[in-house]
Structure formats: structure tokens, C-alpha cells
């Protein structure tokens, strides 16, 4: 396949953003807009002398737990609602209500009912995310091709083989969509919830920086956070997606 | 060599929910090792009959027996669908293993070689041509049950050269394995070329309008004559 002549622009994208940021910092000349070099130096200091790793570890654990539970639970509920029409009729409106409940309301309710604990935070994340995963998976199940069902019945495939060879492959693109949107959403929610009530984590630390107008701290944590999410996206999610969906294209 | 099982359809009534009767007092017998073509217009119920023999379609009054057993309790049949209906997320070999998990790699390779698909076991279905996909559909059916083949319009939507290749492959399989075959087609020429007997279905509820015996080797002139006979019965 011919190479895209504009490929190099992709590599130039982030350096260009850094240059513009540095230029703006020089032009502003204010401690409220430090340049990327100053932020990088501060990030190094925070990593060596302060709580950066502990904060990231705490946030990662909360987000990872919330993400994994939401995805697992949402897949089970989505499969059930997608296959059983009666349950879909009964509980479908609950999913719509869940999708429209503001995340901040869920966090406040969980904190009031359960106290400012990690359990309350993770529960709020799960309650916020599960409806979206459920709706995505249920939609995927409804779009299953009935021809493959007929094939499975004609060749009398076992329940396990049907699940493994017929249903899960059709569900995979929907699970990946739910995972990708979940990953994007869960981090942001966890950070907001940490600002609202937590004793550690990236959100908690950024709220402290905010109280002291510590722009270098806020930007250092933000940049590290974005780098981490991009690493997850490019080092784990995309290779996983390419592997699982290799049958759709010539990527392998 | 053991020939394929016999089939007996004795349908009293069948219709899809909310629809008109599709079959009423329809009876059909297929001898073991016989190749029978079901010919008729679109919508007459040919594919539904095939699905009944495969044990996929229930809800009818009457009986469908394969080798003396109710169709859904008889050994699986080798079904070839109208579209190739391959699982696109499995490789060529994976598509066969999906329905015949006990087959060893070497057996799968030998089967693929037999249908002219040697060396492609690791490819994805999308990397095969239309004709190759149909060959794989036939290989998959053979892996399940080479003694009972149910073919639903296996040559539809293919160009003539590919159809000729597939028909030659089909004749070769029939000569080697002596399976019982139910071949559904809307084209009398398929029957004239490949079947021992053509059963012509017509009307609603469907009835057997007539049968044409087609046994024996046949050249192009014979085929033209047989097609004319089938068309005459079809009206």
C-alpha cells in the first residue's frame, strides 16, 4: 500500500503544540502561564521530591477498578437486555435514567450515603459508567446477524462454541467501543470525584495546587496524566484492537 | 462404500406464524445416495424444506425423517448455504474447525486440498474469491457429514466459469462419496446437469407439480432436452 505523503504531519503535531505553548508563555511572561520546559522541570521535581507516583498510583487503581467493574457488569447486563426482550422492556428505561444522571450527583449521593471512601468513589464511577456500557453492548447484541444463528443451529454447535465462535466475535467491536469511550470518561470522572472528596490522587493534588495558584504543578500533573492516557491508548488499546479485529482489514 | 441416508418428508401442514399455509399434504422420499433437485419459483418453500431436513425448522405437523430418525435427532447434515456464510473472524481452517472441532490440522488440509483450496488454510475468508468461498462452504459441509449434503442455491450470484468449476467439483464429490443430496435451485439447468431426479414444486400451499428422472451421464444436448422437460412440468 502507498504511504500517505502527509504521514509526517502526524509526528509534527505534538511538537507544534509545544512550540505554540512555549511561544505563548514567552509572550505572556507570567507565572500563570509557565512554558513546557519549566513545566517539564517541575514535573521532574514532583516525581523525585513529592507525591507524583503515589498520586498516580491511587488514581490508576481507582480508575482501573471502576473501568474493569463497569465494563464487566455492563457487558453482562447488555448481553442480558439485548437477548431477553421482556427484561429490555422492563429495565431499558432504567438504563436511560442512568445515562442521564449527572456524574457529580452520583458522586455526591455516594459520598453522603457511604462517606468519603474509596469504595464510594469507585461505586460512583461504576454507577455512572455501567448504563453507557450496557446500552452499547445491548445495541451490539441486537445487531447480531441471525444468519449466523441459523448456521450454529444447522451445525448443532454447543452453547459454549456459539458463545465463543459466534456471539463474542460479533460483540468485540462493541466491547472495544465501550472500552475506548469508558477509558476516556472514567479518568475524567475519577479526577472530578477526587477533587470533590478524597485524601489523595491526581484530582486531589490538582485541587491543592489550585488553592495555591500553582500553575506549574497543575500543568505538570495534567501533562503527565495526558501522557499516561496516550500511552495506554497507543501501547495497549490500539494493539489489542488491531489484534482482535485483524480479520476486518489487512493490518496484520 | 456406504451410501448416504434416505430421507422421508411427510408434511401435513406448515406455515409461518401469521402467514398463509406453506405446505399441506406434501410428501417426498429420497433414496440413500440419490441426488434430488428441488426446483421451483422463489418463495415456494424450497429452502424451508431444506431447513426441515437439517433439523433447524420445527413447528410443522407431520414428520421429517433422516435414516429413520426424526431430522433433529439424526446425525448432522452437511449444509451449504445460499451465501457462503463463512465466519469472517475465523481463518479458512478455523471455519472448518468451528463446526468440526475434532478434525486434526492434517485432515483439514487434506479436505481443503480435495476442494481445490490447498495452501489457503491461514487466510481470512475476505481474502478468498467468491468461488473459493463457496468451495470452503462445501468443504465445511463435507467436514460435518459427507454422506448427507443439503445445498441451497449453491451456484447463485457466481459467474459462469466459476459455476462450471463448482459443478465439476460437485460431480466429483458425488462420484467419490455417494452422498444423499438435496439440491435447491431455481434454475432447471442445475438439476439437468447434476441431479438424478428433479422434483418441481409449485403453488401455495406448495405441491409437487411433477418429477423428472434424470439419471445417467449426459452431454450438452441431453441437458437442453432435460431442461425443456423440467420447464414443461413447471408450466
B87 and A161 within 8 Å at the Cβ level: the answer is no
A147 and B98 within 8 Å at the Cβ level: the answer is no
Sort residue A35 into left (φ over 0), alpha (ψ -120 to 50) or beta: beta
CA distances (Å), origin A91, targets A75, A127, A130, B31: 15, 15, 13, 53
User: B32: closest CA among B5, B9, B53, B8?
Assistant: B5
Identify the CATH number of the domain in which residue A103 sits: 1.10.3720.10
Residues of chain B contacting A243 with CB distance shorter than 8 Å:
none
pLDDT at B1: 56
- Shortest distance between the Cα of A155 and any Cα of chain B, in A, equals 6
**CATH homologous superfamily for B7-77+147-234?**
P-loop containing nucleotide triphosphate hydrolases (3.40.50.300)
Confidence tier at A7 by pLDDT (50, 70, 90): confident
Which residue in chain B has the smallest CA separation from A171? B89
Q: Phi and psi at residue B35, in whole multiples of 5°?
A: -105, 110
Mean pLDDT of A29-51: 90
Residue to test with chain A: of B98, B101, B123, B152, most A Cβ within 10 A: B98
What proportion of chain B, given as a percentage, has pLDDT over 70?
A: 98
Question: Is some CB atom of chain B closer than 8 A to the CB atom of A145?
Answer: no
Name the residue facing B85 among A147, A169, A247 (closest C-beta): A147
Is residue A1, in this structure, part of any structural domain at all? no
- Shortest distance between the Cα of B79 and any Cα of chain A, in A, equals 7
Q: Which residues span the domain enclosing A198?
A: 35-44+54-244
Within 10 Å of residue B98's Cβ, how many Cβ atoms?
Answer: 22
User: B87: closest CA among A153, A167, A174, A243?
Assistant: A167
Mean pLDDT of B202-224: 82
Residues of chain A contacting B55 with CB distance shorter than 8 Å:
154, 156
Confidence tier at A251 by pLDDT (50, 70, 90): very low
A155 and B76 within 8 Å at the Cβ level: the answer is yes
| CA B112 – CA B120 distance, rounded (Å) | 8
Is residue A93, in this structure, part of any structural domain at all? yes
B40 within 8 A of B217, measured Cβ to Cβ: no
User: Is the per-residue pLDDT at A252 higher than 60?
Assistant: no
Confidence tier at B133 by pLDDT (50, 70, 90): very high
pLDDT at A6: 81
| CA A87 – CA A82 distance, rounded (Å) | 9
Mean pLDDT of B79-106: 95
pLDDT at A49: 84
pLDDT digits (tens, 9 = 90+) for B154-212: 988 888 888 888 999 999 999 988 999 999 998 888 888 899 999 999 998 999 988 98
How many domains does chain A contain in total? Answer: 1
- Shortest distance between the Cα of B80 and any Cα of chain A, in A, equals 10
B56 and A155 within 8 Å at the Cβ level: the answer is no
Domain ranges in chain B?
A: 7-77+147-234, 86-144
Residues of chain A contacting B51 with CB distance shorter than 8 Å:
150, 154
| CA A88 – CA B223 distance, rounded (Å) | 56
Q: Return mean pLDDT, chain A.
A: 90
pLDDT at A187: 87
Mean pLDDT of A140-145: 92
Is residue A115, in this structure, part of any structural domain at all? yes
User: Is the per-residue pLDDT at B139 higher than 70?
Assistant: yes
| CA B225 – CA A185 distance, rounded (Å) | 70
Mean pLDDT of B73-96: 94
| Residue A250 DSSP class | S
User: B8: closest CA among B25, B23, B28, B24?
Assistant: B28
Which residue in chain A has the smallest CA separation from B96? A155
Amino acid at each position: 500500500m502507498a504511504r500517505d505523503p502527509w504521514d509526517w504531519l502526524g509526528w509534527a503535531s505534538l511538537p507544534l503544540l509545544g512550540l505554540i505553548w512555549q511561544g505563548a508563555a514567552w509572550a505572556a511572561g507570567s507565572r500563570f502561564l509557565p512554558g513546557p520546559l519549566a513545566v517539564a522541570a517541575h514535573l521532574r521535581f514532583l516525581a523525585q521530591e513529592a507525591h507524583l507516583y503515589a498520586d498516580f498510583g491511587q488514581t490508576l487503581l481507582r480508575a482501573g477498578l471502576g473501568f474493569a467493574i463497569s465494563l464487566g457488569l455492563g457487558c453482562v447486563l447488555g448481553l442480558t437486555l439485548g437477548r431477553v426482550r421482556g427484561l429490555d422492556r422492563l429495565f431499558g428505561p432504567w438504563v436511560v435514567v442512568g445515562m442521564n444522571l449527572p456524574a457529580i450527583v452520583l458522586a455526591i449521593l455516594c459520598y453522603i450515603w457511604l462517606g468519603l471512601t474509596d469504595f464510594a468513589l469507585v461505586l460512583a464511577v461504576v454507577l455512572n459508567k455501567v448504563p453507557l456500557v450496557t446500552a452499547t453492548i445491548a445495541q451490539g447484541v441486537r445487531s447480531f446477524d441471525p444468519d449466523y444463528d441459523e448456521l450454529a443451529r444447522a451445525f448443532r454447535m454447543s452453547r459454549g462454541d456459539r458463545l465463543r465462535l459466534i456471539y463474542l466475535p460479533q460483540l468485540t467491536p462493541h466491547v472495544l467501543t465501550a472500552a475506548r469511550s469508558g477509558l476516556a470518561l472514567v479518568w475524567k470522572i475519577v479526577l472530578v470525584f477526587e477533587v470533590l472528596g478524597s485524601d489523595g490522587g491526581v484530582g486531589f493534588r490538582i485541587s491543592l495546587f489550585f488553592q495555591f495558584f500553582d500553575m506549574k504543578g497543575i500543568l505538570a500533573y495534567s501533562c503527565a496524566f495526558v501522557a499516561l492516557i496516550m500511552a495506554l491508548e497507543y501501547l495497549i488499546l490500539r494493539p489489542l484492537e488491531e489484534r482482535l479485529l485483524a480479520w476486518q482489514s489487512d493490518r496484520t | 462404500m456406504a451410501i448416504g441416508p434416505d430421507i422421508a418428508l411427510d408434511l401435513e401442514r406448515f406455515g409461518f406464524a401469521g402467514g398463509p399455509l406453506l405446505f399441506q399434504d406434501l410428501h417426498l422420499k429420497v433414496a440413500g445416495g440419490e441426488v434430488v433437485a428441488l426446483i421451483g419459483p422463489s418463495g415456494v418453500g424450497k429452502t424451508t424444506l431444506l431447513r426441515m431436513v437439517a433439523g433447524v425448522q420445527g413447528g410443522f405437523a407431520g414428520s421429517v425423517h433422516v435414516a429413520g430418525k426424526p431430522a433433529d435427532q439424526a446425525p448432522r447434515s452437511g449444509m451449504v448455504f445460499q451465501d457462503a456464510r463463512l465466519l469472517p473472524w475465523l481463518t479458512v481452517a478455523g471455519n472448518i474447525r468451528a463446526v468440526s472441532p475434532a478434525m486434526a490440522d492434517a485432515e483439514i488440509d487434506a479436505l481443503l486440498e480435495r476442494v481445490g483450496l490447498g495452501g489457503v488454510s491461514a487466510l481470512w475468508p475476505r481474502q478468498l474469491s467468491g468461488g473459493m468461498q463457496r468451495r470452503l462452504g462445501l468443504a465445511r459441509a463435507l467436514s460435518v457429514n459427507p454422506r448427507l449434503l443439503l445445498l441451497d442455491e449453491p451456484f447463485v450470484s457466481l459467474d459462469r466459469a466459476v459455476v462450471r468449476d463448482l459443478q465439476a467439483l460437485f460431480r466429483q464429490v458425488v462420484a467419490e462419496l455417494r452422498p444423499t443430496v438435496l439440491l435447491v435451485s431455481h434454475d432447471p439447468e442445475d438439476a439437468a446437469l447434476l441431479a438424478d431426479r428433479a422434483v418441481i414444486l409449485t403453488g401455495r400451499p406448495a405441491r409437487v407439480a411433477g418429477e423428472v428422472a434424470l439419471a445417467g451421464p449426459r452431454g450438452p444436448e441431453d441437458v437442453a432436452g432435460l431442461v425443456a422437460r423440467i420447464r414443461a412440468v413447471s408450466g
